[in-house]
Amino acid sequence: MDDVFSALSHATRRTILDLLRDKDGRTLSDIEAQLPMTRFGVMKHLKVLVDAHLILTRKVGREKFHYLNPAPIQQISDRWISLYASSFVQAMSDLKIQLEQKGSSMSNTAPKHVYEMFMRAPAEALWKVITDDEKTPLWQHFNMNSRTQWHQGGTIEWIMNGNVVIAGQITEFEPPYRFVMTFHAKWAPDVAADQASRVAWEITPIGRDACKLTLVHDTFESETATYHAVGSGWTEALSRLKTLVETGEPFRLDLSQMSEPVG
C-alpha cells in the first residue's frame, strides 16, 4: 500500500483523481486542459497513479482513456475501517459522490466502470472460485447466491432471499481467462427499467503464483440508475473475492449493516 499513499500525497495527483471522479474516461489532452502545467508534467503524474493502480487505461480506437480504479482505496478502507462502521462510511461517501456528480456529464464513447485487482493466486484458482456457485455468497455483494450455467450461452442468476436480483447471459466464455456476460438488474423498478449492460471479466496470469483480474462494466445507455448503483457493489465484491482466493477464508459481512444490493 506504500505506493498508494505515495501517489495520494501530491495535491496534483489528488486533483487528477477528482477530475476522474467527476468525469471518468478522460484523455490525456482533457486532463492536461484542466491543470496549470505542461503535458509532460501531467504524464509524469499519470504514470505515478497508473503504477499505483489508482488509474487504469483503456484504448478505444486511437484514443487512450483514463479511469479511476477505486479498488486500492477500498482495500485501505477494508484494513482500517471496522466492519461495523464501514456501511455508514460508504453510505456517506456514496451520498457525497452523488451530490457532487449532479449536473456533470460522462463520456459516451468509452467503458464506464473499470476495476483492476492483483491477487497472490494462480489464474486457475481465481477462475475456479468465480465459477463455483457454492462460493459466490462468500464474496458477492449482499452475500448473493448464484445459479449459473457456466458455458457460452448459459444463463446467470444472482439471487437474494429467493428473488433474482441480477440476471444475464454468458456471451463469451474462454476458461480460465475470460468471460463476458450481460447484466440486467432487477432489485428495484428504476434499475429494472434499464436495458441490460455488459460485464467483461479478464484474468491475466503473472508468473505461476499470481494474476490480475480486470473487470469492465460498460454499454450503459447513459448515466442510468444501474450505472449509478453498481460502483460500490463491485468494489466490495472484488475486495472480498481477493480475500477468499488468497486466504481460502471468506471476508464475512453482517447483512444487517449493508445497504441494498448494487452489483
Tell me which residue range forms the domain holding 117.
Answer: 112-257
* φ and ψ at residue 20, rounded to 5 degrees: -75, -30
Which residues, other chains included, contact 134 with Cβ-Cβ below 8 Å and sequence gap of 6+?
Answer: none
pLDDT value of position 85:
47
Which pLDDT does position 21 carry in this prediction? 84
From 50, 21, 70, select the one nearest 233 (Cα to Cα): 70
pLDDT score of 93: 53
Q: Answer whether residue 107 is part of any domain.
A: no
Looking at the fold, whether 119 and 54 belong to one and the same domain comes out as: no
Q: Is the pLDDT of residue 255 over 60?
A: no
Averaged pLDDT for residues 9-19? 91
Contact yes or no for 71/114 (Cβ under 8 A): no
Q: How much is the average pLDDT of 106-111?
A: 48
Q: Which regions of the chain does DSSP assign to beta strands (E)? A: 55-60, 63-68, 113-119, 145-148, 155-160, 163-174, 178-185, 197-206, 210-218
Q: Is residue 185 part of a domain?
A: yes
Residues 6+ apart with CB under 8 A from 40: none
Output 61 or 177, whichever has higher pLDDT.
Answer: 177
- What's the whole-number mean pLDDT along residues 238-254? 87
Same domain flag for 126 and 64: no
Residue 97 lies in a domain: no
Q: Do 48 and 118 reside in the same domain of the chain? A: no
Q: Are residues 118 and 247 in the same domain?
A: yes
Q: Tell whether the model's pLDDT for residue 259 goes beyond 80.
A: no
Domain with 208 in it: what CATH number? 3.30.530.20
Q: 200-239, pLDDT tens digit by residue?
A: 999 999 998 999 999 999 999 888 999 988 987 898 899 9
Give 25 or 198, the one with higher predicted confidence. 198
Number of domains in the chain: 2
pLDDT at site 58: 87
Q: Looking at the domain assignment, is residue 101 inside a domain?
A: no
For residues 35 and 151, membership in a common domain is answered with: no
Candidate from 12-26, 51-65, 82-96, 191-205 with smallest mean pLDDT? 82-96
Note the pLDDT of residue 84.
46
Are residue 116 and residue 217 in the same domain, yes or no?
yes
Do 51 and 116 lie in a common domain? no
Distance between CA atoms of residues 21 and 35, nearest Å: 15
Q: 79: pLDDT confidence band, cut at 50, 70 and 90?
A: low
Q: Do 232 and 148 fall within a single domain?
A: yes
Query: Pick the residue with more confidence: 261 or 202?
Result: 202
CATH code of the domain covering residue 15: 1.10.10.10
Output the pLDDT for position 106: 42
What are the pLDDT digits (tens) for 138-191?
999 999 999 999 999 999 999 999 999 999 999 999 999 999 999 999 999 999
Q: Is residue 123 scored above 60 in pLDDT?
A: yes
Evaluate whether residue 170 is within a structural domain.
Answer: yes
Asked if 120 and 229 sit in the same domain, the reply is yes
Does some domain include residue 134?
yes
Binned at pLDDT 50, 70 and 90, residue 133 comes out as very high
pLDDT for residue 87 is more than 80: no
Residue 75: inside a domain: no
Q: Which of 36, 68, 100 is the last residue of a domain?
A: 68
pLDDT of 4? 87
Residues 229 and 119 in one domain: yes
Instruction: Classify residue 88: in a domain, yes or no.
Output: no
The mean predicted confidence, pLDDT, of the chain is 85
128 shares its domain with 201: yes
pLDDT of 92 above 90: no
* SS3 state at 209: coil
Q: Which long-range contacts (CB under 8 A, 24 or more apart) does 155-162 make?
A: 156/181, 160/187, 160/261
132 and 217 both lie in a single domain? yes
Q: What is the pLDDT of residue 77?
A: 63
pLDDT at 70 over 90: no
Q: What percent of the chain has pLDDT over 70?
A: 81
